[in-house]
Structure 1
C-alpha cells in the first residue's frame, strides 16, 4: 500500500520536473526525456549520501531556496493584496464554492510516504540509542528542524496559492489551468518583466520536482528496507525503488505527452490515491507511538495523543470528503454507490487486518 502511494506521488513529482524542463528548453525536450533526466537524481542522492546525510540536507536546502526565491519573485510580480492575505491567515473564511478547492489542497499536499520519511530521518543522527538523554536531544532538535522545514513549505505554498488566486479566481479559464499551461497564462496576464514569469515558474517547478523526487527516493529506501527487510547494496536498492516509480511515470509521459488536459485529470486521480492511503500511514503510527511496552519513556503523553488523533481524524475526514466529491463527479448512480461501498469495505478490512497484525507484533515484542 505504501509503495503504491509512493509510486503515485513520484509520478506527479517527476512529471512536474519533466514539464519544467520542457518549458525551459522551449518545448524541445519531450516529457519522456525529462522523466529520464529526472530519474538520474537517485545517483546524485547516492553520491551525496556517501559523504554523509548533511551533504544531502545541503542539497535540499539549495533546492528549497531556489523554489522559495522563484515563487516569492512571482508573488512580487503579480502583487496580491498582502493585507487581505494576512487577514485571511488570522481569520480564514470559506464559502460553499471554495470548500472543494480547500479540501483538494490538503489532499494533495499531505502525502503518506512523508509520514514514514519524517519518522525515519531521526535515525540518521549518530547517537547511542541506549542513552535516553541523547535520544531525547536528537528528537528535540529534529522536531525543530521539521518545524522549520514545514514552515518554509507553508510559506512557499502560500505564495503559489496567492499568485494563482490573484490571477485566475473567478475567471472563465480557471478550470483549464494545469502545470503545463500555468506559466504561459501567467505571462499573458502579467507580462514578461525583466525575467519572463513563465521561466520563473518553470525554475520553481523544477526545483520543487527535484527536491520531491529525491525525497521520494529517500523515503523508498526506508520503506523497502523497513517493510521488506531487504539487505541490499545502496545502489541496487535505489535502482529497484526508483524503477518501481520511474517505469510507470515513463509510461504516463509517453501516453499523455500531447494531452495536457488528460495529464491534469490523471493528476486528480493520483491525489485521490494519496487520500485513500492516508489512514494506512497515520493510524498505525499513532497506535504504535502510544504503546508503553514498545516506546517506553518515549511514549507520547495524553495531551499530545489526543491532539494527534484529532488532527489525524480531521485529515482523514478531509481526504474522505475529497474522495467522495471526486468519485461523485466522475461516477454516477449505481456505479457511484458501488464504488463507495467497495472503498469503505476495503478500507475497513485493511485497517482491521492491520490492527490485528500490529497487536500480534506488540505481543511478540513484549
Structure 2
C-alpha cells in the first residue's frame, strides 16, 4: 500500500499555488458542489413534495434552518481536512479505541448503502417517467454507474467536478423553468420564511426534511475532497484555504437550498393550491404535473430526477471508499469496492420489486431515510470534538460561539432523528412481529449506548492520540545494511518479448553462483483436468521452449532447471515455489490497462499475496 492519503488517487491533484486573483479562488471551487448533490437527492424530493403538497409554503423556513445547520457542519468538515490533512474516518480511527472503529465503519457503510438505495430508486423512477422503462430494468441499469465513476476518476478531479456541476446545473435549470410554468405566489413564499409552531404531521414532515438534508456521508466526503487542493501548508496558506472553501461551501449549499425550496414551492403551487394535499409519491407528483400543466413540466421533472440520482451516486460511492480506508485501513481495487457498494444497495431494491411490487418502493425510500438518520450522530459528534481540539487543530480550532452553535445544532438534529426513529418503531409495533423485540429494539438500544460512548469518550480520555497517519505506522530506524545473496531464484516465463527483461533482472540478483528455476504454467482445459499427465500440443511446445531457455542459460554459465505447472496459474506458481524452497521469485508484469487489467492483470497480485518470499516484479 503505497499511499496513506485520503482518496490517494486524486489527493493534492489540483495545484492552486500557480494562480492569482479570481483564478486562485476558482481553483478551490469544486469540492462543495460534489457534496451539495447529497442535499438534493431523491430522498429530499420525497420530503419536499410531501411538505409542499400538504402544508403549502409553511415549511420553507425549516428548509432554510436545515441549510444553515448544514453550512455550519460542512464548513467544520472542510476545516478538519484542510488543517489536519485527515478525513473524518481517519481522525476517528486515531482518536477512538481500535474496537470502536468496527461498529463506526459498519454504521457509516450502512448509511452509505441506504443513501445509495435512495439514489437508485430515484434514478429508476426518473427513467420510468421519461422513457417508460420498467423499474426493475431501471434499477439494473444503475449498476453501470460504477464504470462511469471509474472513468471519471481516471480523467482527474477537475473532470469529475465538471460532470457533477453540470448535473447540478441541469437540476437547477429544470426547476427554474418549472417555476415560470407553475407561477407560485411570491407573497406566500416570503411568508413561508417566518418561523411557526409545528405539530402533528407538520412536525413529522419537518423532522423528515431535516433528517434528509444533513447526511452523514457528506461530512466524511467533504473532509476528504478538500485535500484534493495543493496549497502552501503554512499559517497563511491554511487560513486562505479555509476561507476559499467556506465560499465554495456557501455558494454550493445555497444552490442546494434553491433546488429544495423549488421542489417544495412547486408542490405547493401545483398541488396544495389545487386541493391535492396527499401527494407523497414521486410518481404521483409527475402524473399530477402532467394533468395540470401538460408535457413540458413533467419531462423537466424526470430529467432533474435522473441528474440528481446520477450525481448523488458518484459522491455516495466515493464516501464508501473514504470510510473503508479510514476506519479499517482496508484498500481494495477501486472497481471492486464501487461494485460491492452498488450491489449492496441494488439487492434490497431488486427484491422489494420482485416480492412486493413496484408500489412498495416508496416505503423502501422512507426506510432508507430512517436508517440514514440513525448514523448522523456518529459523524456529527466526533466532528465537533475534533475541530474543537486546540492541540491537534494548531491554532485553527473553532471559536467558542461556533462550538456552542455546533453542539446546539447537533443536539437538535440527533434529538429530532431519534424522535423519528422512535415514531417509526412505535408504528411497526402495531404489527407485533417477534423480530421487533428480538432484533430491532435491542439493536436501537445498543446503537444509542454507542452514541453516548462516542460523545463521552473524548471528555474522559487522557490517552494521547497516536501519531499514526492512516493506514501506515511510524517509520523505523534503518541500521546497518548487509548484502542479501539469493541462491534459489524462480523466474516465471510466458514466451513473450517480456521474458528477456525478466530473465536479465533475475540473473543480476544471483549471478553465476545461484540456481535458477524456470517456471511456466500450461493453462489449457486439458491441463486443468489432467494435470501433469496431459500431452497436448501446447504442453509439448511449451516444454521445448522452456528447455531452450535452460540450454541457453547453461551455455552462458548459469545453472538452471525447467519446471512446468498445470491448470490455475497462481496456484501452480505458488506450489512450485514451495516445493523448491525458492528464496526469490522474479515475475514479469505485462502493463495491462483498463479492461485488460481487469481480466488478465491479476496473476502478479495474487501470487505475491500467497507466497512468503520476496517477489521482484519486472515491467
Which residue of 277, 290, 295 maps to 1:187? 290
**Partner residue of 1:61?**
165
**Partner residue of 2:447?**
347
* Residues 1:3 and 2:3 are matched in the alignment: no
d(CA) in 1 for partners of 2:333, 2:441: 43
d(CA) in 2 for partners of 1:214, 1:180: 24
Higher-helix-fraction structure: 1
Which residue of 281, 294, 301 maps to 1:178? 281
**Partner residue of 2:12?**
none
d(CA) in 2 for partners of 1:352, 1:106: 21
Paired residues of 2:116 and 2:342 also in contact (CA < 8 A): no
d(CA) in 1 for partners of 2:189, 2:463: 48
* Residues 1:295 and 2:393 are matched in the alignment: yes
Once the two structures are TM-superposed, the CA of residue 147 in structure 1 deviates from its matched residue by 1.3
Q: In 2 relative to 1, CA 82–170 (structure 1 residues): closer, same or farther, beyond 3 Å? A: closer
Q: Give the match's secondary structure for 1:297.
A: coil
Which residue of 259, 263, 279 maps to 2:358? 259
Q: Give the match's secondary structure for 1:66.
A: helix
* Residues 1:114 and 2:214 are matched in the alignment: no
More relative contact order, 1 or 2 (CA 8 Å, 6+ apart): 1
**Partner residue of 2:15?**
none
d(CA) in 2 for partners of 1:341, 1:225: 30
Which deviates more, 115-124 or 1-10?
115-124
Which deviates more, 167-176 or 177-186?
167-176
When normalised by structure 1's length, the TM-score is 0.87
When normalised by structure 2's length, the TM-score is 0.53
* Residues 1:250 and 2:354 are matched in the alignment: no
Gaps of 5+ in 2: 1-106, 468-619
Which deviates more, 281-290 or 173-182?
173-182
Once the two structures are TM-superposed, the CA of residue 356 in structure 1 deviates from its matched residue by 7.2
Once the two structures are TM-superposed, the CA of residue 355 in structure 1 deviates from its matched residue by 5.0
* Residues 1:212 and 2:318 are matched in the alignment: no
**Partner residue of 2:176?**
72
Once the two structures are TM-superposed, the CA of residue 354 in structure 1 deviates from its matched residue by 3.5
Deviation sequence 1:232-271 (CA, Å, 0-9, x none): 3433333333333333343344445x432x2212222221
Q: Give the match's secondary structure for 1:298.
A: coil
Higher-strand-fraction structure: 2
**Partner residue of 2:119?**
13
* Residues 1:365 and 2:471 are matched in the alignment: no
Once the two structures are TM-superposed, the CA of residue 315 in structure 1 deviates from its matched residue by 1.2
Deviation sequence 1:214-246 (CA, Å, 0-9, x none): 111121121122122223343333333333333
Which residue of 353, 363, 368 maps to 1:270? 368
Q: Which has the larger radius of gyration?
A: 2
Paired residues of 2:112 and 2:316 also in contact (CA < 8 A): yes
**Partner residue of 2:71?**
none
